[in-house]
Amino acid sequence: MTFKNLYNKLFEHYSNYTTSHIRFKDIIYTSKINRETIIPLSTKHIHNELPIRLAHRINELNLLPYGLSHNSNINLIRNWYLSSFEELINLPKNYKDVEPFKYTIRNIYERHSPTLTTLAKAIYEIKESGKPINLNILQDFLDKFHTNRTEIRILIQQYLKLFENDQPNHFGIINKYSSVENTIDNAKNAINYICRKSDYEIDISKIIEIKGSGTLAFIDNYLYYILFEILKNSVQAVIDSGKKHPKIKITIQDISSYIYVTINDNGIGILDKNLDKIWLYSFSTNPIPSKNILLTEDFSNHNPLSGFGYGLPISKIYLNFFDSFIKIESQYKIGTTTHLFLKKY
């Protein structure tokens, strides 16, 4: 049997397996297991699980409609997945000597870092081509793709972090006492920098009021992304409204099993006809040309995806992973209130 035939047979083999969803509580549970035990167990799990997930993603990319499967950015992503799949199936299954596996997994993680922006660019290009698109089909694909990608990237991040000494109050990438208030402050500072760079004459520190505080077990950069995207939308809304006294009020409350966060602005608001569209990847009120997008890694402030409509749908996927959820209410020319329920563990 030639290598190509063997490779195709292995690809078909892994494609026939199903995967189960990973949740934040699953990773929290592993904190009870000592590292000597969890590292070989995690190595075996990722070695078995990752080729299956890669095979499924490759198949999905091959079957994309609307010419997306031939888009240069989709081809780039597909090649990353093919390379990673080939590297994994060629690794020896020796779970005592994990160094070669760790090295390969780190390379795979870094290789796929620009996937979010690369796929966003591909979707934008096909949308701008003027070809008719069934948004429901596109939405389902992107939800599934990004959900699976989020799960496996967090799993890999946690695995690689197990080889390092934990920071205080951390288990791997999990901050046991992640501060919602501090994360909002960091997001606020980043948005203030973006506003100054964009020549907006607005001082974020003067229009944002924060009341309350709360801590919970979370992964800091994911919490930051969620709060950054929501707050960025509110800042853009108050800028677009042109009101003399723009205001954003943030309230943080510890209620039972959740940290409850409300972000209320007196911005331009959302038209009723657009309220359901804000969860679509293809929807944005501030579109920007795809040539201006850099292929950056996840969570980069150099490229916050503004204009691609990715902020809210990706935030929703991240929240789902953490068993948390979001609700948005809005009235045009009056303002918007975002309700965040962050699950405590």
Q: Tens of pLDDT along 195-215? A: 888 777 788 888 999 999 999
Q: Express each pLDDT in 291-335 by its tens digit.
A: 544 445 565 554 443 556 788 999 999 999 999 999 999 999 999
CB 57 within 8 A of CB 112: no
In this prediction, residue 283 has a pLDDT band, given cuts at 50, 70 and 90, of low
Instruction: In whole angstroms, give the CA distance from residue 213 to residue 179.
Output: 8
Supply the pLDDT for residue 67: 80
Mean pLDDT of 54-59: 93
pLDDT digits (tens, 9 = 90+) for 68-88: 888 999 999 999 999 999 999
Q: Please give the pLDDT value at position 56.
A: 93
Q: The tokens of 99 are what?
A: 């160094």
149-161 average pLDDT score: 95
Whole-number pLDDT of residue 295: 45
What is the structure's pLDDT at 129? 80
pLDDT confidence of residue 20: 81
174-343 CATH: 3.30.565.10
DSSP H helices, 162-285, are: 180-197, 204-207, 220-241
What are the extents of the domains in the chain?
A: 3-164, 174-343
Same fold, 3-164 and 174-343: no
Q: How confident is the model at residue 105 (pLDDT cuts 50, 70, 90)?
A: very high
Rounded-to-integer distance, Cα 230 and Cα 151, Å: 22
User: Which run of H or of E encompasses 102?
Assistant: helix 99-111
In whole angstroms, give the CA distance from residue 165 to residue 89. Answer: 29
CATH code given to domain 3-164: 1.20.140.20
Q: Which of 200, 204, 211 is nearest to 189 (CA)?
A: 204
Task: Judge whether 74 and 68 are in contact, CB under 8 Å.
Answer: yes
Pure H helices in the chain: 3-15, 24-29, 35-62, 72-89, 99-111, 115-128, 135-161, 180-197, 204-207, 220-241, 311-321
Tokens standing for residue 343:
């699950």
Burial of 56-67, coded b for 16+ CB within 10 Å and e otherwise, reads bbbebbeebebe
Distance CA 83, CA 89 (A): 10
Mean pLDDT of the chain: 88
